[in-house]
Chain A
Amino acid sequence: MTVESKQQNDIRRTVKKLALIVVGMCFFVAALVPLYDLFCEVTGLNGKTGGPYVFDEAKTSPDTTRLVKVNFLTNTNEGMSWDFWPQKGAVRVHPGSANTVSFYVKNTTGRPMIAQAIPSLVPSSAAEFFHKTECFCFEQQLLQPGEELEMPMRFIVDRGLPKNVQSINLSYALFDVTERVGLPEDMQITDNQVSPVTGG
Chain B
Amino acid sequence: MQVTLPRKLTTRLLRTLEIELKVRQSRMKNQILRMLTGTLAFLASGVALADELNMRVGVTDISRQVYDLHMTIFYICVAIGVVVFSVLFWSVFQHRKSKGAVAATFHDSTKLELAWTIVPTLILIVMAIPATQVLVAMYDTGGEDMNIEVRGYQWKWQYKYLDEDYNNSFSFFSNLATPKSQIVNRSAKTDTYLLEVDEHLRIPINRKVRFLVTSEDVIHAWWVPDFGIKRDAVPGMLNELWAIVEEPGIYRGQCTELCGKDHGFMPIVVEAMPEAEFDAWYATKVTSEVVRQESMSKTFTHDELMVQGEVIYGTYCSSCHMANGEGVPPVFPAIAKSPVALGPRDDHLSLVINGVSGSAMQAFGKQLDAVQLASVVHYQRHAFGNDVGDISQPQDVINLSNGQ
Q: Which residues of A contact B (CB under 8 A)?
A: 46-47, 71, 73, 75-81, 83, 85-90, 107-110, 118, 120-123, 144-146, 164-167, 169, 171, 173, 175
Contact = CB atoms under 8 A, between A and B. Distances in A.
B165 A146 contact: no
A80 B166 contact: no
A81 B349 CA distance: 13
Contacts of B166: 85-89
Contact of B236 (A87, A89, A108, A175): A175
28 contacts: A46-B237, A71-B162, A71-B164, A73-B160, A73-B162, A75-B149, A75-B214, A78-B235, A79-B216, A79-B217, A79-B357, A81-B354, A81-B366, A83-B401, A86-B166, A88-B165, A89-B162, A89-B164, A107-B403, A122-B239, A144-B403, A146-B403, A146-B404, A167-B142, A169-B210, A171-B214, A171-B238, A173-B214
Given A89-B162, A169-B240, A171-B214, A79 B403 contact: no
A109 B237 contact: no
A81 B402 CA distance: 12
A122 B238 contact: yes
B151 interface: yes
Nearest to B400: A110
Contacts of A120: 214, 236-238
B147 interface: yes
Contacts of B142: 123, 164-167
Nearest to A109: B354
Contacts of A145: 403
Given A121-B238, A146-B403, 8 more contacts: A73-B214, A78-B363, A79-B216, A79-B357, A109-B354, A109-B403, A120-B238, A123-B142
Given A75-B151, A89-B166, A146 B354 contact: no
Q: Main SS of chain B's interface residues?
A: loop
Nearest to B362: A79
Nearest to A90: B164
Interface string B213-254: 010110000000000000000011111100000000000000
B212 interface: yes
Given A120-B236, A171-B214, A81 B165 contact: no
B279 interface: no
Interface in B116-162: 141-144, 147, 149, 151, 160, 162
Contact of B237 (A47, A76, A87, A166): A47
B365 interface: yes
B398 to A, nearest CB: 9
B256 interface: no
B308 interface: no
A88 B216 CA distance: 22
B379 to A, nearest CB: 21
Contact of A110 (B151, B239, B350): B350
Interface residues of B, number: 40
Interface string B272-285: 00000000000000
A109 B169 CA distance: 24
A89 B165 contact: yes
A122 to B, nearest CB: 4
Contact of A78 (B217, B239, B403): B217
B163 interface: yes
A83 B403 CA distance: 13
B333 interface: no
Nearest to A74: B166
Given A110-B400, A166-B142, A77 B236 contact: yes
Nearest to A175: B236
Contacts of B144: 167
A122 B141 CA distance: 10
A44 B166 CA distance: 27
A44 B165 CA distance: 28
Contacts of A167: 142, 144
A175 B215 CA distance: 12
Contacts of A144: 403
A88 B163 CA distance: 9
B353 interface: yes
B403 A71 contact: no
A128 to B, nearest CB: 16
A79 B165 contact: no
B212 A73 contact: yes
B355 interface: yes
A50 to B, nearest CB: 15
Nearest to B144: A167
A87 B169 CA distance: 12
A79 B147 contact: no
B212 A122 contact: yes
A81 B397 CA distance: 12
A79 B239 contact: no
B366 A76 contact: yes
A91 to B, nearest CB: 8
A120 B233 CA distance: 13
A146 B151 CA distance: 26
A108 B239 CA distance: 29
B392 to A, nearest CB: 17
Given A81-B354, A89-B169, A169-B212, A122 B240 contact: yes
A143 to B, nearest CB: 10
B163 A75 contact: no
